[in-house]
């Protein structure tokens, strides 16, 4: 089939196929860390009377995946929902079991979706490391590498939660 095309078209088609093959051979770019399971230990809602606005607060605790793993330990998140989507912020503690955790400021978006089984809340968050120095209080570290990107999914019926760190 390619032999019936002019040579410039064959070269272009070959170059395009090669470029697609090279692009497809890279690392899958989404998840390179294990998913951590946890539970919603508490949540509360405050609903506006005259508008479709709601504020929901979550506390999540994550189980130990492995004693050697550095992972999310706990999260406290507040979401300002307008309908089923909202702005999320709070903090996440990250570290090894038995060691003091590192603290990250969290900000991003939350979306509530009805699934076949039960309603889910999906958080897409950026975590920014917070350095706690002497007696001066916490300060967000600037100039640090790209924030950690995480996805947290909470099953609203059961309270089960998962956190996946993304690239």
What pLDDT, in 10s, does the model give residues 41-80?
999 999 999 888 999 999 999 987 666 577 899 999 999 9
Quick one: 90 exposed, middle or buried, by C-beta within 10 A (0-12, 13-18, 19+)? buried
What pLDDT, in 10s, does the model give residues 104-149?
999 999 999 987 788 999 999 999 998 776 555 555 555 556 788 9
pTM passes above 0.85: no
Confidence band, pLDDT 50/70/90 cuts, at residue 3: low
| Contact call for residues 127 and 106 (beta carbons, < 8 A) | yes
Q: What are phi and psi of 115, to 5 degrees?
A: -105, 175
Query: What domains does the chain contain, in order, with CATH numbers?
Result: 30-166 (2.40.350)
DSSP letters, 143-165, are: SPSSPEEEEEEEETTT-EEEEEE
């Amino acid at each position: 089939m390619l032999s019936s095309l002019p040579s410039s078209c064959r070269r272009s088609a070959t170059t395009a196929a090669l470029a697609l093959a090279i692009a497809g051979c890279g690392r899958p770019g989404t998840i390179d860390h294990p998913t951590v399971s946890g539970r919603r230990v508490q949540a509360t809602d405050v609903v506006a009377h005259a508008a479709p606005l709601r504020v929901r607060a979550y506390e999540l605790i994550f189980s130990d995946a492995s004693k050697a793993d550095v992972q999310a330990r706990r999260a406290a998140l507040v979401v300002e929902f307008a309908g089923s989507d909202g702005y999320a912020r709070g903090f996440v503690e990250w570290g090894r079991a038995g060691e003091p955790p590192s603290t990250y400021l969290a900000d991003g978006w939350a979306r509530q979706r009805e699934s076949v089984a039960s309603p889910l809340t999906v958080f897409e968050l950026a975590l920014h490391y917070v350095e706690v120095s002497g007696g001066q209080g916490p300060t967000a570290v600037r100039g640090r590498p790209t924030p950690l990107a995480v996805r947290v999914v909470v099953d609203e019926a059961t309270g089960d939660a998962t956190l996946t760190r993304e690239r």
